Amino acid sequence: MRIKRDNFRGLRAIGAAISVLTLAACATSALNASAEPDGQSTLPALINDGFEGESALKFDWPMLEIGTGQYEDGPTGLTVLKFGKKVNAAVDARGGGPGTVNAEYLKLGYTQPELDAIVLSGGSWYGLEAATAVNTALLDDGYRGGHWNNVGLVVGSIIYDFGGRRLNEIYPDKRLAQLALRAAKPGVFPNGAFGAGRSAMNGGIFGCNARSGQGSAFRQVGDVKIAVFTVVNALGAVTDRDGNVVACHKGTNWPETLKASDLMGAAPASLQPDWNGDKDTQEFERKNTTISVVVTNRTMSPAELQRLAVQVHTSMARGIQPFASEFDGDVLYAVSTNEVEAGPGVNLPSMEIGVAASELMWDAILAAVPPQQVTQPKADPDLVIPSSTLREYVGTYKFSDFASLTVRLEDGNLVAEASGARDVFQITKAGPRRLLAAMQDVFTVDRGRYPFSVKFTGDTVIVNPGRWQQIGHRVGHE
């Protein structure tokens, strides 16, 4: 078909116009990109926190290196387990919502050692970036390459640590993961609210909403070494060997010594916010996952590794009740570093390693729960604070794009109300709530099931001061 000259000129004009618009769009895009904020790139990174603490596990195993990274502004974090050479591994996924990278590959059961590292991370599925970041760091650092028999392999799993437990959506990212990898060292693992377990919780199915973390345990029998690691962000409650619930913000009229059997036996009633007359209906934490690793230096076949993963993972239902629910994403990796020979009459049989590792995993679960929990100060009804001081605390404090707290002075008392898209723990969007003075700069609310307090300092407010505090910055005065 021939195009008339006039039509051709018209088409050329249209094409030129489109080119101009395209260039303009590209220029606008570039301007917007340059104007975008740095996001998480300026967040202070805390590396290997807790390595020198009393709760840290110390063990002798040069083959296994650990590094952790945390963004305390979250708080959130990740944990890297790096092996000194490629190792064999298997995976067992139990929960209803697992989030993994490269786990499916392990299910193929190849005999060739291929795994370099395991990454456990907060940040839900956004945190999966951490696993691929560790792998690219292995390439960038020259540890691995592009040849078919030298490509790096890293697997990873995540926990959900957003929601009602913090007032932001900071997640472990590429920068944090690579810093943790490059700082990894052998023989130490921090137990408690560190690394991937920085904002972990447990017991949400019963409304316990207790702080949790990551835990570990180690044992050597002859030449055989066994180490286990877990990040306990469980829907179920952590339970000790006597059947006691280890940590729980109890409801009204709950027994002083709380047994897991008390809660499990009373289900489904015990799963409701108002069970046993409780009136504090703050949202339960019901997006959960426990991610775990068991490592041995004994050589194992793919079938033995898979059975080890299943055996140890199954045993965890004793220490976490209930376990592997629809709202969990439980995953366990079993690893053999192939340093110790296997065979009839040589070292521990794989089944016995499974028994020992199962008991160690219960120890690790218990070690994950930090001794300190969030507490609530007692209001002092006799404390008199001048109105001039109270007025210094008035204003709107911003925690994130979706969470703000507005503080006002009404009839000589401070009141607070959530003014963003979401509630600020016990301070909701439903209406103002009176703040009760505990100290000159610390206030609380009528005691409920969950602790709450705020501390004013300059142009900031600290909610629940301490290990899991949330900091808001004043953006306006009332």
β-pairing verdict for 154-158 and 115-121: parallel
Contact indicator for 233, 202 with CB cutoff of 8 Å: yes
The whole-angstrom separation of Cα 232 and Cα 404 is 29
93: tokens are: 């996924």
Query: DSSP assignment of 296-325, as one string?
Result: EEE---HHHHHHHHHHHHHHTTTTEES-S-
The whole-angstrom separation of Cα 86 and Cα 94 is 26
Contact indicator for 88, 336 with CB cutoff of 8 Å: yes
Cα angle at 130 between 127 and 135, to 5 degrees? Answer: 150
179: tokens are: 């810093």
289 in catalytic set: yes
**In this structure, what DSSP letter does residue 259 have?**
B
The whole-angstrom separation of Cα 469 and Cα 160 is 18
Catalytic residue among 289, 296, 337, 406: 289
The whole-angstrom separation of Cα 22 and Cα 323 is 55
Element (H, E) at 407: strand 404-410
Residues labelled as active-site residues: 289
